Structure 1
Amino acid sequence: MNERVPYAARMANYLLVIGDRQALDWVLRQQRMAFPDFKRAEVRALAPGDRLYLYTTRGCFGNPTRDRGRVVTTGEVRSTVAELDEPVELGGRSYPVGCELRITELPAWPGGVELSPIVGELELFDGMTKSWSIRLRRPLVGLSARDAGLLDRYLAEHDRYPLDEMIDGYRPRRRASRG
């Protein structure tokens, strides 16, 4: 007998790590994510219905001294990961595979859950209190159901607003020319 696993039971949770403001703007506006290839198992495993916790690194907004790595919102994968008709070009790199997302809300910038203070509470970082950020050097990082629940509780403490009302606060800034 072939038992079917309920859809919700198959859903996975991931941190979606974004380290560049231009890339973040593209993800939020296009409601898509692009990857350099299919090599990583988590990219191949990503499926519709999977939950993403959008994490912006300290360097994402160009000032790692001021900014903190934060989980800013959640989103949902809406399509399988596939080769794109045309690769996405961001920051001088090409991303030929991707998927559709659904992200509907954001906190006012800079908002969200700062990750550093809660590292000790997350299973993802067990035994890594000093070098935890090394785990975030890839675009997708799997999260346990427990960690996802913890992040949901922390995110619930932050006001979030419709995406279209907040998106400009996350947009890349133009630098003033020196002349």
Structure 2
Amino acid sequence: MSESYLLILGDREPIAWVLSERRTAFPATARAEVDRLAEGDELLVYATRGAFRNPTRDRGRVIARAVVTSPVTVLDEPVTFGERTFPRGCDLRIDRLAPWGGGVELRPLVERLAAFPDARSWSVRLRRPLLHLPEDDAALLRNALEPAAGPVERHLPAYRAKAGVRGGALPAGSGR
């Protein structure tokens, strides 16, 4: 039986990379939820409010739905963004993507989500690469995302442009 998780991304460059490459990468730090991630698991991609580079104006949003299509393994070449290195990763199939700046704002839903038992300190639970979602939480977010999202290829160019990706090039500082 597959599980559902929020895949938490905090910057434009990694967001564009994940969406473009159809894979994700994880830090070396041991995390039980990363170790449990399996083929067929659902990832609801969450962009933190800082990812849009104006945290006083922007809000964290669920922007995409993906399915894990390979096991998490040690990468031949780690992925690097800035000073951070991500040596493990897996492949994804991204089914739906919201337009740049769109998606499902998470904050108004926190009190309805069991993954956030304390609504006052809910954002603390987002300081990790993955957050396990009970099925009811995943269904609520998935259903809210559906009308806000569309085909990946329709919305991907805006994410790539905002990250400074031109043509087929990957974001500066990222490895494959």
Indicate whether the TM-score tops 0.5.
yes
Equivalent position amino acid for 1:144 in 2? P
The Cα of 1:124 is off from its aligned counterpart by 0.7
How many angstroms does 1:169 deviate by?
Answer: 1.5
Supply the distance in 2 between the matched residues of 1:64 and 1:104 (Cα, whole angstroms).
27
Corresponding position of 1:4: none
Question: Looking at CA atoms only, which structure, 1 or 2, has the larger radius of gyration?
Answer: 1
- Aligned mates of 2:142, 2:79 — CA distance in 1: 30
- What residue identity is the alignment partner of 1:165? R
Residue equivalent to 2:130: 140
Residue 38 of structure 1 and its aligned partner are, at CA, apart by 6.0
Q: State the distance in 2 between where 1:83 and 1:34 align.
A: 9
User: Is the contact between residue 35 and residue 96 of structure 1 (CA under 8 Å) also seen in structure 2?
Assistant: yes
Counterpart residue number, 1:166: 155
Task: Name the residue aligned to 2:145.
Answer: 155
SS in structure 2 opposite 1:103?
strand
Aligned to 1:43: 34
Q: Shift of the alpha carbon at 1:108?
A: 1.5
> What residue ranges of structure 1 are gaps of 5+ in the alignment?
1-9, 175-179
Q: Conserved in 1, the CA contact under 8 Å of 2:47 and 2:62? A: yes
Contiguous gaps of at least 5 residues in structure 2: 165-176
Aligned to 2:173: none
CA distance in 2, matches of 1:87, 1:157: 35
> 1:45: how far off?
0.5
Q: How many residues align?
A: 163
Cα offset for 1:119?
A: 0.4
Match of 2:114 in 1: 123
1:96-135 per-residue CA deviation (whole Å, 9 max, x = no partner) reads 1100011133121211110000100000112x11111000
Cα RMSD of the aligned pairs, angstroms, is 1.3
- Tell whether the 8 Å contact from 1:38 to 1:44 is kept in structure 2 after alignment: no
Number of the residue aligned with 1:177: none
Which residue in 2 is equivalent to 1:5?
A: none
1:7-46 equivalent positions in 2, closer than 5 A: 10-37=1-28, 39-46=30-37
SS at match of 1:63: coil
Alignment correspondent of 1:74: 65
1:96 maps to amino acid: P
AA aligned to 2:142 is: D
Q: Secondary structure of 1:95's match? A: strand
Report % sequence identity. 50
After TM superposition, what 4+ stretches of structure 1 lie above 6 angstroms from structure 2?
none
